[in-house]
Structure formats: C-alpha cells, structure tokens
Amino acid sequence: MMPAKPSAPIPLTILSGFLGAGKTTLLNHLINSDHGLRIAVLVNDFGAINIDAQLIVGVPTAEQINLANGCVCCTIRGDLLRAALQLVERADPPDYIVIEPSGVSDPVSVAQTFQLPELRDRIRLDAIVAVVDAEQFGQLEGANAYMAYEQLTVADLIVINKIDLVTPEQIAALKRKWLYPTARVIETSFGRVPIDLLLDTGRFDPAKLLTRPTREVHVHERSGADHPHHDHSLTFSAYSWQCAAPLSLKALKRALRQLPNTFYRAKGLLYLADDPTRRGVLQIVGTRITLTMDDSWHGAEPRTQIVGIGAPNSFDAAALDALWESCRADRQPASIAEQILSGALTWLRHKR
C-alpha cells in the first residue's frame, strides 16, 4: 500500500490565560465569527467537571474534544498528545485547531507537546495567545501572580480583556508594570477580538520557549534543574459539586458571600427554582461574581454543577458541599422567589 500523501500541517493556536481571564468567551466569539473554517477545539478543565466544554456553542460534537480532570501541561499531557493525533490522523482533518488549556497550564509545556516528533510535521503552531483579565490581573498574589505573569512572558499575542471594568489609567499601569513594550497587545471586552488578528498570524516564535526567564518561584512544586516536570495538582486543588434538585437564588447569593477567599476561581451551571427553564451561568473571578441567564438549557437536563480551584488544603470540601446543599429550594423555610432581570447580575465579594 502506498503511504498517504503528506498534507500541509494544520495551524494551531494556543489560547492561554490565567483562571477566569475570559478564554472560553473569547473562544466562543472566535468560533462563531464568519470565517468559513472547520475549527476543531480542544478544551481542558483542571477539575473533574468540564464546565467550559459545556459553555462552548456552535462547534459540532465531532470537532470538540474535552480534556478534563487534570492539566494538559502536566498530569494529562499524554491525553493532549492522543487527542491531537486523533485530529490530524482523520481522513477529513480540520482546517484549524484551537486549544484552550486550563488556566493553570504552562503554555511552554503545551507548545512543546506539539513539537514532539509525532506532531511537529503535522501541526504548525501559529501563536500562543494570552488572555488577561484587566481588572483582576494586578490583584493576583503569590504563586497565582507568578503563574499568570509567566504565561505572558511567552505569549506572541496578548489580549487585555474586560477593559469595560477598568479605567484607561489602570490599563496603562497594567501595561507599564507587566508587559514588554514589544508585545503585540489587543484591548477588548467580552473577548470580542477580530478573528483575523487571532488566527493564522504566523507570530509563533520558537526562540521564546527557550529564552523565557528562569522560573524563580516554586510554590509546592517538585521541579528542579534536572527534573523540570511539575505537576499543577500539587499547586492547586479542584473542587466540584453537582445537584439535580433546583436551588434558591436567594440562598445561593447568601452562600456565595461565605465562599472562602482562598477559593480563587469558581464557575458553574445553575438550576434555579426561580427560573428553572433557563440555564444560569455563574462566574467567580477573584472578588467578582457574575450570574447570567442563558435562553434555555440547550437540550441538556437541568442540573447544577459548581467547580472551583483553590490552594491545596485551603478549603473544606465537606463544608462547601453542605453550603451548596443548604441552597436547595426544597430546603428553604418559605419560598420567596428572587426576581431575575434579563441582563447579567453582578456583585462583589468581600475583599481580604
């Protein structure tokens, strides 16, 4: 049998960015732009439940591969390799591949996977994009701050997102403090970036992977000079809870106020007794909590799924389970329905 004719490598964009930066929103915007391409997406969630995968709309099931319960840069790197091989080996491969690694992933390790002998001739890394939350980036601390900054140092393209939440002075300060003057920067809100600026840019610079400043902070990490592997499950702990019974919004809002600050990022799909036919989407990033209501459940069975990420041993999972359980509508003393407005509901958590 004749060997298959080698086809042109498939371009791939890595959509990195720290927890809650707005990667999934940007990905949705990109997929649903007018591009005429068959784009395959690889979506990675650190926790056991892949919420991001459920928030993506407009991608045929066959073109979306969900990688959950680990981080594609370390613990489930093999899964990433297998998924990418599966895409390129198809009889009818996609025109373009976009990967959304988990918010704690190191884009360098992700990029290196695509340079392995099995993939390097079949995939062309087009760019590493880093999405930045304009409001929260400067508020990150310790290992979180370092990891978020590290993602920026290797980005070929930086998207400063959520600029509607900050002043022009704050954006200028962010750039001055954290960005190289040479970095290509796009400022936006709600991930609205023109697709031409994001895909097929040819901006990937392999030299950057080698010249990145040495890692200086290794909080709870096993890495060392001759053992560069690190495992994000040691730096972060994932939490998840799900429930088929509807929750009371009023109780939930009360519960969210008690969420520990160490729980940096949480998100969820909410089944609310107050509005059971629509899917609620909960986003918690730093101190900001946002709830938006979708039009429907998109054909899925209504159920609440909440996931979160915090430092190891920084939260009590059993206590959190009990907290959410107490929000069940059937456990409320008297049902006082909360009025849900058509727009997004947003409020702030208590600051430290």
For residues 53 and 289, which CB has a smaller minimum distance to Zn ion in the complex? 53
- What's the closest the beta carbon of residue 231 comes to Zn ion, in angstroms? 7
| Residue 74 makes contact with Zn ion by CB under 5 A | yes
Alpha-carbon distance 166 to 189, whole Å? 10
For residues 16 and 28, which CB has a smaller minimum distance to Zn ion in the complex? 16
| Residue 68 makes contact with Zn ion by CB under 5 A | no
- What's the closest the beta carbon of residue 238 comes to Zn ion, in angstroms? 12
Alpha-carbon distance 80 to 74, whole Å? 10
Chain position whose Cβ is nearest to Zn ion: 71
Whole-angstrom CA distances from 37 to 63, 90, 129 are: 12, 16, 19
- What's the closest the beta carbon of residue 232 comes to Zn ion, in angstroms? 4
| Residue 147 makes contact with Zn ion by CB under 5 A | no
For residues 42 and 73, which CB has a smaller minimum distance to Zn ion in the complex? 73
For residues 103 and 246, which CB has a smaller minimum distance to Zn ion in the complex? 103
The span of 14-22, 74-82, 146-154, 329-337 binding Zn ion (CB under 5 A) equals 74-82
For residues 79 and 118, which CB has a smaller minimum distance to Zn ion in the complex? 79
For residues 41 and 71, which CB has a smaller minimum distance to Zn ion in the complex? 71
| Residue 77 makes contact with Zn ion by CB under 5 A | no
| Residue 71 makes contact with Zn ion by CB under 5 A | yes
Burial class (CB in 10 A: 0-12, 13-18, 19+), 73: buried
Number of shown-chain residues binding Zn ion (CB under 5 A): 5
For residues 147 and 285, which CB has a smaller minimum distance to Zn ion in the complex? 147
Query: Binding Zn ion by CB under 5 A: which of 12, 49, 73, 134?
Result: 73
Binding mask 221-240 for Zn ion (x = CB under 5 A): -----------x--------
- What's the closest the beta carbon of residue 271 comes to Zn ion, in angstroms? 31
For residues 233 and 304, which CB has a smaller minimum distance to Zn ion in the complex? 233
Binding mask 78-117 for Zn ion (x = CB under 5 A): ---------------------------x------------
List residues binding Zn ion (CB under 5 A): 71, 73-74, 105, 232
